Structure 1
Amino acid sequence: MEAVVFDGSNLTLKYEKNYPMPKITNDDDVIVKVHYAGICGTDLHIIQGEFPAIKTHPIALGHESSGVIHAIGKNSIYKVGQKVAIDPNKSCNLCDFCHNGNYQYCLTAGINSTIGIWKDGGWAQYVVVPQQQIFVLPDEITTEQAGLCEPYSCVSHGFNRAAPLKVGQKILVVGAGIIGNLWITTLHHHGHREVTVSEMNTARLDIVKRLDTGYRLITPDVLAKENNTYDVIIDCTGVGKVMEISFNYLREGGKYVLFGCCPPNHTTTVNPYQIYNKELTIIGVKINPFSFPSAIGWLKAMGSRYVDYYKLGVKTYSLSQYSEALEDLKKGSVAKAVFKVIDE
């Protein structure tokens, strides 16, 4: 089968036409025929050696994927042909963190066993998945829309972590890549209108305009010249230095949601007196513990008003076009690249 394969031992990525087909090895395994598989910012960090991933053998990357069930183990509750989204993360069901419903902290599962980071993922025509990591899609959601289910599930977890987010609060979204855009759609869908978006790439701001939210769109230099402060700042950049600057824009009692995934070597400096004096809150957000049902509910409720590839700045590519996809992401000409794997 076709796949885009990453070798962590030498940080190389290549397209293969004859990558081995996955096999059912456990009775509750499911093989999914992939329709859509996203390229995440974390994937870019992995390819550059900036984020932990498997090094012992090459794998097909891709932890954001959707498709239809192709084959099932004999104990699976699912049926061939069902539309599904894949949750790449799971709990170990043994440690205290997992027993308390916080598998994002698990030292062996969670981000430490992610499909598409530690085992073959969705950058391939087929992928094998334990059935507990499968979510059947309602008729109203297409597999194209469900290609964004995993990132929306992470936003859902962040939304819950930051709660309450009260309508009328002044909110600043920093970074208008795809994660910024998903936050923008989420905030607008939930009734928030006092939102400013800061992004240095004006082409990305042009993409945000397609969402027709009426939000104020500015560049960081304009933000720096203003004397505005915000109740909530959602940092979607994944750049440590950005936090150092943006943290100063919080007003008293404010929350800083550090959502963008920074490489482990990034550092930042904040003033602890500010935290004390303004009673500020810093909120980290790690993966998507048990938030897939919320994401599916959001996708269904949002529909094409928000979950539309053109409006969000998403462009599709074949697996063989992976180099072009990465180059477009690097240039910032697209907010997100998604592999369209389905045969047409």
Structure 2
Amino acid sequence: MEALRFSFKEKKLELCHLNVPQVTDPNNVLVKVAYSGICGTDLHIIAGEFPCNQFAEITLGHEFSGTVAEVGHDVISLKEGDKVTVDPNSGCKRCSFCHAGKPHFCKVGCVVNTLGIYKDGGWANYVLCPEEQVHLLPAGISLEQAVLTEPVSCMAHGWDLISPVCVGEKVLILGAGIIGTLWVCILHHQGHRNVFVSEPNTVRLELVRKLNTGYVLLTPDQLRKNRDADPCKYSFDVVIDCSGSPPAIEQAVTFLNPGGKLCIFGVSPPQSKIQITPFDIYRKEIKIFGVNINPFTFPKAMGLLGAMGNRYMNFNNLGIKLFPLNQYSDAIDQLKKGSIAKAVFKM
């Protein structure tokens, strides 16, 4: 089989030919991958900016869907031929965080156990997965759409944290990559119409325009100028940062209305710093929410995907482009240039 392998030591990504993994653990499932996405985290890993397995080459890819090819003899919830999507994250199930329903804070499992970051993932024709992390797709969700389950599951967790967001409240989304675009879809689907999107890349803004939401789309420069001219109109009840840009986050705090919420969804480099005036947090009673992956939100994500359907989950309108695995360099280049919102490998 083909697999895209990454070496942290050499900072090298290359296409390899490997044997198909064998099901030796009775609780494992062999998934034949259909679609596998490139996440912004993957780009940070390849650049050496995000922690991953430093001791062995691994197959990257933590967003993927496919078909069950084989199951271990103790697997009871799945069978050969089932269409599935896979949650790459898991906890140890023993620590206080896992027992509190917060496996994303687990220091034994979670990130150090993640498929596609610490263990072999979905940038390959086949991948071994624990049964408990494999989710059967409901009718009406295609394998193509299901590749978005992992990012949408993270957003479902973010939505739980910042809720309630009442229809009519003014929302600002910072960044119109795929995550910002998916936030646009979820907000519009749930009835929100008073939404602004700020993105420096005008190509990405035009991609968002194809969703036909009627949202206000503008660059950061336009946002600043409009804010100076009309601070009342350009003040917000909720700001969702999908950019990971410290200067954008700093500015976003000043845009918040009293009682406002700041959702930090984008991943900034670990060494980044922001400056926020504590007096403003006190005076305006600002609430700041960090969003870290997807504890138990895969079922919610599949519910969202099914509900949004083709109206929102159309790859062409989302700016998602499909690539064969051997065109990984081109896929990464186009993603970095911002000419597409997301790249997905079609196996």
- TM-score, normalising length: structure 1: 0.98
Name the counterpart of 1:50: 49
Q: Describe how 1:1-344 pairs up with structure 2 within 5 A.
A: 1-16=1-16, 18-77=17-76, 78-225=78-225, 226=227, 227=231, 228-341=234-347
Q: What amino acid maps onto 1:167 in structure 2?
A: V
> Could you tell me how far apart the structure 2 residues matched to 1:211 and 1:112 are?
37
Q: What amino acid maps onto 1:74 in structure 2?
A: H
Q: What per-residue deviation string (whole Å, max 9, x for no partner) do you get for residues 227-271 of structure 1? A: 221000000002222211221111100000000111211111111
* SS of residue paired to 1:338: strand
> Could you tell me how far apart the structure 2 residues matched to 1:44 and 1:3 are?
17
* SS of residue paired to 1:299: helix
* SS of residue paired to 2:90: coil
Q: What per-residue deviation string (whole Å, max 9, x for no partner) do you get for residues 180-204 of structure 1? A: 0110000001110000000000000
* SS of residue paired to 2:305: helix
> Could you tell me how far apart the structure 2 residues matched to 1:319 and 1:74 are?
31
Q: What per-residue deviation string (whole Å, max 9, x for no partner) do you get for residues 306-328 of structure 1? A: 01111110001011000000100
What stretches of structure 1 move > 2 A for 4+ residues in a row? none
8 Å contact from structure 1 (residues 111, 287) kept in 2: no
- TM-score, normalising length: structure 2: 0.97
> Could you tell me how far apart the structure 1 residues matched to 2:19 and 2:297 are?
32
Q: What amino acid maps onto 2:112 in structure 1?
A: N
> Could you tell me how far apart the structure 2 residues matched to 1:292 and 1:72 are?
21
Q: What amino acid maps onto 1:10 in structure 2?
A: E
> Could you tell me how far apart the structure 1 residues matched to 2:272 and 2:248 are?
11
Unaligned runs of 5+ in 1: none
* SS of residue paired to 2:332: helix
8 Å contact from structure 1 (residues 3, 19) kept in 2: yes
1:20 deviates by: 3.2
Q: What per-residue deviation string (whole Å, max 9, x for no partner) do you get for residues 83-141 of structure 1? A: 00000001210000000000111112122211000000000000000000000001211
> Could you tell me how far apart the structure 2 residues matched to 1:25 and 1:265 are?
41
Q: What amino acid maps onto 1:40 in structure 2?
A: C
Unaligned runs of 5+ in 2: none
8 Å contact from structure 1 (residues 69, 82) kept in 2: yes
* SS of residue paired to 1:23: coil
8 Å contact from structure 1 (residues 8, 54) kept in 2: yes
Q: Percent identity among equivalent residues?
A: 50
1:19 deviates by: 2.1
